[in-house]
Amino acid sequence: MEPYQIDLHDSKVYPMGLTRIDGGIHVTTVAAAKACSLLLFAKEEKSGKGVKFHEVFHIPFPETGKTGHVWSMTLKGDFTSFFYAFEADGKRFPDPYGRSFAGRERWGKLSQAKNLLLAPVVEPEFDWQGDRPLHIPYEDCIVYRAHVRGLTKHVSSGTEHRGTFRGVVDKIPYLKELGITTLELLPAVEFQEVMMPENVEGNPYGNSEPTGRLNYWGYTKACMFAPKASYADQGSNPVTEFKYMVRELHKAGLEIVLELYFSGKEVPEFVLETVRFWVREYHVDGIHLTGYAPTALLAKDPYLADTKLWAISWEAEKPAAGEKKHLGEYNEGFLIDMRRALKGDEEQMSSLIFRNRRNPAECGVLNFMAGTNGFTMLDMVSYDQKHNEANGENNRDGSDYNYSWNCGAEGPVRKKRIQELRARQLRNAMLMLFLSQGTPVLLAGDESGNSQNGNNNAYCQDNETSWINWNLNKWDQELLEFVKHVIAFRKAHPVFHMEQEPRVMDYLACGHPDISYHGVNAWQPEFENFRRQIGILYCGNYAKKPDGQNDAFFFVIFNMHWEPHGFALPNLPKDLEWSLSFDTSDSAAGGFYAEGQERKVSNQKNCMVPPRCVLVFKGKKKAKNLDKA
């Protein structure tokens, strides 16, 4: 007698996958097949070669449980210790709705490539300790985009949990010190990193063995409901590890946004169910949708109304009164325009002010100067051309359009003049990013000069090309200190991250518009195609600090020209005078001056702006003249 019994009288409707019920389980799967079966496996004792499984039951679905291509079955019995998969017309496959899997615990192990992934019937309970998503408004977010493995895999990471979810937890103090509010992770679901040959099935000359290359990024077909097992410590449960990471991030005041890649072959309902699952089961604060996703469906879903959803674009409506915008536009528009402005291309000042001001009421805007696909920020100022030879495709892969400039020489150099120019350009780029109204996204490692040696498509580079090197030299440390300061500066001054897009109007009737544009002469902006310089004046009356006080006046001058330019400084209210907060040409000072220690400006009427430089002036109270007292 079998230790289980098929209940043919259960007429309830269950979700896809496996559902535990009183006295047993219910399983549902999709298979366009004549016959389908549930396979149950038992775990053997650990041996020197790792965990093994053996099949114990092969249970065909009853014909009465078939509706279209959907097979359903209720089983009574004790299945607590079992793992399962399915078989349809002799072909075995894992449950697409499985919550975790055994069979791929070792990252990049070629012998695991053909393993049948087995999902446990029972997942461990987890104590969330009252955890909830944080819902940080877009205008207050500082996003850090990282790869779970690449963040801590390098030997210099200083963690015992290299390349894992626990490794991410160990970097929380660093993220807090840097000023990050939101951590974005590249795909961390159960994808097949071992790359297999394509179009092999039915080809008599095809080779079905692994290619030997790894899909490091994870943009491929995956089991979308399961955290990646090889991102958990050996012997640990990936479900528990991911939830622990989320809980610890939230305790530290950090949001987490997970990137999910969809191929476009999924039905819209599957995508919706996947996104809802990660929000409800794992408490993630947001989802970055890449590939092909039904954005219109997701945007209107009531379950996701306060969840950050990021995509290339949205057809969004302005949120109702009292509601915060939760959709976010995430594309390369900012990167392309600002990189072109940074390197001094013609006719870019209109694009610069557009990107700098953009913050529509309908959705958030995610701004970045470097993304996973493309040059890092250091490579952006070090290479004119891609160098992807290590990918094994004769440098034919990757985009030919990088909008970069190597500052006079390709790749690493010892010339101090070029090194200093690159450092200045990086400081310029950081100010472009963090002084723009949209939500800044910093690619992990860019804050300390991470390089991929000119590789702009490191999708298969699971090595030091992609891993973050935490050993910082003097130059790296100086850049890191600059980035920390500019992030703190942005947070301290709400004029640079207002809740609504600046209107370039004096709608408070205070004598100044919220922001205004200036050429070399005050109040006379110049946008001819040959102009490579612009000034932006910010009026602090339009932005309140947390204590209720008005923010300060700021005048930001971008001179992307290779020649110096004289600028007239706009007049301030009588009790204020200009001081200097940033001068990216001042390498001795690191490009910035600490709050309260701004550099005094002797000439309050005019200033000479060095080539390829950004200056940030701050209006401060005039010192009292004691001689007149």
**CA 378 to CA 456: how far, in whole Å?**
12
pLDDT per position as a tens digit, 103-123: 999 999 998 889 999 999 999
What does 168-214 look like in DSSP terms, one character per residue? HHHTHHHHHHHT--EEEE---EEE--B---SS-TT-TT---S--S-B
- Which band of pLDDT confidence, cut at 50, 70 and 90, is reported for residue 624? confident
- Token output for 561: 């020209």
Instruction: Give me the mean pLDDT over the 305-321 stretch.
Output: 90
- Kindly report, as residue ranges, where domains of CATH 2.60.40.1180 are found in the chain: 515-628
pLDDT per position as a tens digit, 267-302: 999 999 999 999 999 999 999 999 999 999 999 999
Residue 397 contacts residue 370 (beta carbons within 8 Å)? no
Residue 139 contacts residue 328 (beta carbons within 8 Å)? no
pLDDT per position as a tens digit, 487-535: 999 999 999 999 999 999 999 999 999 999 999 999 999 999 999 999 9
- For the chain, the straight-line distance linking the first and the last C-alpha, in angstroms and rounded, comes to 104
**CA 625 to CA 617: how far, in whole Å?**
22
Q: How high is the pLDDT of residue 628?
A: 40
Q: What is the pTM of this model?
A: 0.96
The number of C-alpha atoms within 13 Å of 309 and in the hemisphere containing its C-beta is 31
- Kindly report, as residue ranges, where domains of CATH 2.60.40.10 are found in the chain: 5-93
- Which band of pLDDT confidence, cut at 50, 70 and 90, is reported for residue 575? very high
Residue 241 contacts residue 165 (beta carbons within 8 Å)? yes
- Kindly report, as residue ranges, where domains of CATH 3.20.20.80 are found in the chain: 138-496
Q: How high is the pLDDT of residue 175?
A: 98
Q: How high is the pLDDT of residue 77?
A: 95
pLDDT per position as a tens digit, 26-56: 999 999 999 999 999 999 866 556 678 999 9
Residue 29 contacts residue 16 (beta carbons within 8 Å)? yes
Range in 4-13, 61-70, 285-294, 592-601 with the lowest mean pLDDT: 4-13
| CATH fold of the domain at 515-628 | Immunoglobulin-like (2.60.40)
Q: How high is the pLDDT of residue 211?
A: 82
**Contacts of 152 by beta carbon, 8 Å cutoff, 6+ apart:** 159, 161, 162, 163, 164, 167, 168, 170, 171, 468
H helical segments located in 17-123: none
By DSSP bridging, strand 439-443 and strand 364-368 are parallel
- In degrees, rounded to 5, the angle at the alpha carbon of residue 129 between the alpha carbons of residues 125 and 135 is 110
What does 479-514 look like in DSSP terms, one character per residue? HHHHHHHHHHHHHH-GGGS-SS---SS-TT-SSS-S
Q: Which residues of 603-629 are buried (b: 16+ CB within 10 A; e: fewer)?
A: eeeebebbbbbbbbbbbbeeeeeeeee
- Token output for 286: 């947001």
Instruction: Give me the mean pLDDT over the 590-595 stretch.
Output: 96
pLDDT per position as a tens digit, 155-184: 999 999 999 999 999 999 999 999 999 999
pLDDT per position as a tens digit, 527-572: 999 999 999 999 999 999 999 999 999 999 999 999 999 999 999 9
User: Which candidate, 111, 118, 126, places its Cα nearest to that of 83?
Assistant: 118
Residue 265 CB: number of other CB atoms within 10 A?
9
| CATH fold of the domain at 5-93 | Immunoglobulin-like (2.60.40)
pLDDT per position as a tens digit, 393-407: 999 999 999 999 999
pLDDT per position as a tens digit, 41-98: 999 866 556 678 999 999 999 999 999 999 999 999 999 999 999 999 999 999 999 9
CATH architecture designation of domain 138-496: Alpha-Beta Barrel (3.20)
Q: How high is the pLDDT of residue 44?
A: 85
Q: Which residue has the tokens 């496959």?
A: 93
- Token output for 350: 């209109």
pLDDT per position as a tens digit, 229-254: 999 999 999 999 999 999 999 999 99
Q: Is the pLDDT of residue 626 over 50?
A: no
